[in-house]
Amino acid sequence: MLADIAAVAGKDLRIEWRSRVTASQVIPFAALVLVLFGFALDANRPVLERATPGLFWMTVLFVTNLAVQRSTSIETSDGARRALLLAGIEPVAVFVGKALAVAVELLAVEIVLVGGVLVFYGAEIDDWGLLVLTCVVATMAVAAAGTLLGALVAGIRARETVLPILLLPVLAPVLISATRAFDDALGSVAVQGWAWLGLLAGFGVLNSGLGALAYGVLLEET
Amino acid sequence: MTTQVAAQDRGDGDPTRAHTGSRATRGLGLVVLAGLVALVLLAFFAAPPDDEQGDAVRLIFIHVPSAILTYVAFFTTAAGSAMWLWKRSSWWDITAHAAAEIGVMFCALTLFTGSIWGRPTWNTYWDWGDVRLVTTLILFLLMVGYLVVRSSGGDDPAVSTRAAIVGLLAAINIPIVNRSVEWWFDRTLHQKASLTDGKLEDLTLFTLVFGLVVGLLFFVWAMIHRFRVGWLEHQARAEDLDEALEARRSEAAAAGSSASGGEA
């Protein structure tokens, strides 16, 4: 099981590494969104500082949409889904492996984004532990929900437009809780950041559970 | 039960004569119509204006029933989705779809009446700090996504399975959305449950319960019709498939007999 998970995650990450899409397209896109938010808020430092956690996580949600599209298109081209089924790998292992690969890509983008908000928005970090843990937990949650929905839209012809309609409302609680946890970690608002982290973890567990149960059905029937 | 009625109503195999009405649903429809007229009279003329809210209180006679029916409808969708995944029963699948469509309509009505009620009462159309408001909006968006998946095309069982998973995903995420919005602002403008606080006048309470009964009857009426439309669509596609299979089989049989004739 663990070996299967590693094989699936390794496959996706290797494709990503060789095509350099994350490095050459997704990270520049994320940086661009940060800069555009700066224009939208009139480069107003106090406003930007106050809004930094929300803008950070909005950018992550946009990037998630791209990363899940990529992860899905790997399987839909060349009948790779059939091959994955025929390989005799448990669907749960495929789900966990693909979600892990998406999470690794998102974490790489988030490292760049943290640098971006430090430089462009003048953010200061009060609590590194909370910041790092929030990133890890929120990213796992987002990757699990994204991977499930990616498999769900895989067989739909207009999947590029259907995916965000499904994904973004599901991720609304992640946006709220991760933003609040960052508010605490960046010291911009006094809130109970660790309680929000717990809510994020709950979201992650629920959606990973449903994903693990439903992924096999989706892989085999749609 | 509805399945049998729908099957009888298919116009004896002639698809152009198929319809979704029956004597029972026509009767129910008339009752709903009369109920709506009575509700309008009660809500706009008979019920007294509120001491604080004035005439704006009359909106709750539509708002509260449609909010309750929204959740009834989406609960039905979630149950139907689970049953489709478990039993693969088309009955539940069509029920889930019908309830989702009607639920989205009630949900839109809830948000709309709530906003225009909020303006004179809270002095704002929309309040981000209100848990029920924001939760209902997210639920609305999730269920619009459900209908998008339904209409996205593809073969029947695949669409049903996709939609069922979206229905369940919406259902399990609603408590999380609710909790996160509740913590987010830790305050609520919303009326606490209007029915149970004992402050309503007799006629206001009567009108509210009456509105709920009329709304529920309308929901049942709309469900029966929407279900029958779904069932007829399901039948029509199954018949098309059967006819196509029959045509291919007869072609194969004809080809087979001419081939064997050639050998002799």
**DSSP for A150-165, written as a single string:** HHHHTT-TTHHHHHHH
Q: What is the mean pLDDT of chain B?
A: 83
In terms of pLDDT, which residue wins out, A123 or B73? B73
Question: For residue A12, how many other CB atoms are within 10 A of its CB?
Answer: 22
Alpha helices in chain A (DSSP H): 2-19, 21, 27-40, 45-76, 80-86, 91-120, 128-153, 159-170, 172-185, 193-221
**Distance from chain centroid for Cα B61:** 19
**pLDDT over threshold 90, residue A146:** yes
Residue A47's pLDDT band (boundaries 50, 70, 90)?
A: confident
- pLDDT category of residue A113 using cuts at 50, 70 and 90: very high
Rounded to an integer, the average pLDDT of B62-91 is: 92
Backbone angles phi, psi at B54, to 5 degrees: 65, -140
In this prediction, residue A46 carries a pLDDT of 84
Chain B residues with a Cβ under 8 Å from any Cβ in chain A: 85, 138, 141-142, 144-145, 148-149, 152-154, 157-158, 161-162, 165-166, 168-170, 172-173, 176-177, 179-181, 183-184
Greatest C-alpha distance within chain A: 56
Encode pLDDT of A121-141 as tens digits. Answer: 888 888 899 999 999 999 999
| Mean pLDDT lowest among A32-46, A100-114, A120-134, B44-58 | B44-58
Q: What angle do CA B66, B101, B140 make, to 5 degrees?
A: 65
Give the closest-approach CA distance of A19 to chain B in angstroms. Answer: 30
Q: Would you say B35 and B213 are in contact if contact means Cβ atoms under 8 Å apart?
A: yes
What is the distance between the alpha carbons of residues B245 and B249, in angstroms, rounded to a whole number? 6
Q: Is the pLDDT of residue B5 over 90?
A: no
Give B50's strand partners.
Answer: B54
Instruction: Check pLDDT > 90 for residue B254.
Output: no
Residue B37 has pLDDT above 90, yes or no: yes
pLDDT over 80 at B196, yes or no: no
Instruction: Report, as an integer, the average pLDDT of A183-202.
Output: 84
- Which pLDDT does position B66 carry in this prediction? 92
Match 């599209």 to its residue by tokens: A69
The whole-number average pLDDT for the span A77-84 is 80
Interchain CB distance below 8 Å, B183 and A210 = no
Residue of A nearest to B137 (CA): A169
pLDDT band at B195 (very low <50, low <70, confident <90, very high): low
Q: B187 pLDDT exceeds 70?
A: no
Instruction: Report yes or no for ipTM above 0.85.
Output: yes
| Residue B35: CB atoms within 10 Å | 18
What's the pLDDT score for residue B17?
64
Closest CA to B1 of B224, B219, B215: B224
Q: What would the mean pLDDT of B252-259 be, rounded to a whole number?
A: 78
User: What's residue B9's pLDDT?
Assistant: 47
Q: Go through chain B and tell me how many residues it has.
A: 264
Give A-chain residues touching B179 at CB under 8 angstroms. 173, 199
The mean of the pLDDT values for chain A is: 89
The shortest CB-CB distance from B145 to any of A169, A176, A217 is to A169
What's the whole-number mean pLDDT along residues A197-211? 90
Cα distances (angstroms) measured from residue B61 to each of A133, B110, B132: 47, 11, 18
Contact A156 B152 (CB under 8 A): yes
Q: What is the pLDDT of residues B91-117, one digit of tens each?
A: 999 999 999 999 999 999 999 998 888
- Cα separation, B172 vs B42, in Å, equals 38
Judged against a pLDDT cut of 50, whether residue B1 lies above it is answered with no
Look at residue B70 in the predicted model and tell me its pLDDT.
92
pLDDT-derived band at B200, boundaries 50, 70, 90: low
Amino acid identity of A141?
Answer: A
Contacts of A154 (CB under 8 A, 6+ apart): A72, A75, A76, A81, A218, A222
Burial annotation B192-231 (CB, 10 A radius, 16+ → b, else e) = eebeeeeebeeebeebbebbbebbbbbbebbbbbbbbbbb
Note whether B180 contacts A173, CB cutoff 8 Å: yes
**What pLDDT is recorded for position B16?**
60
pTM, full prediction: 0.84
Q: What is the pLDDT of residue B190?
A: 60
* Paired residues of B54 in beta bridges: B50
Q: A176 touching B, CB under 8 A?
A: yes
- Quote the CA–CA distance of A107 and A112 in Å, as a whole number: 9
The residue of chain A with its CA nearest to that of B154 is A156
Backbone angles phi, psi at A61, to 5 degrees: -65, -40
Give yes or no for A170 touching B (CB within 8 A): yes
What pLDDT, on a 0 to 100 scale, did the predictor assign at position B264?
A: 42
For the residues of B154-172, what is the DSSP string, one character each?
Answer: S-HHHHHHHHHHHHHHHHH
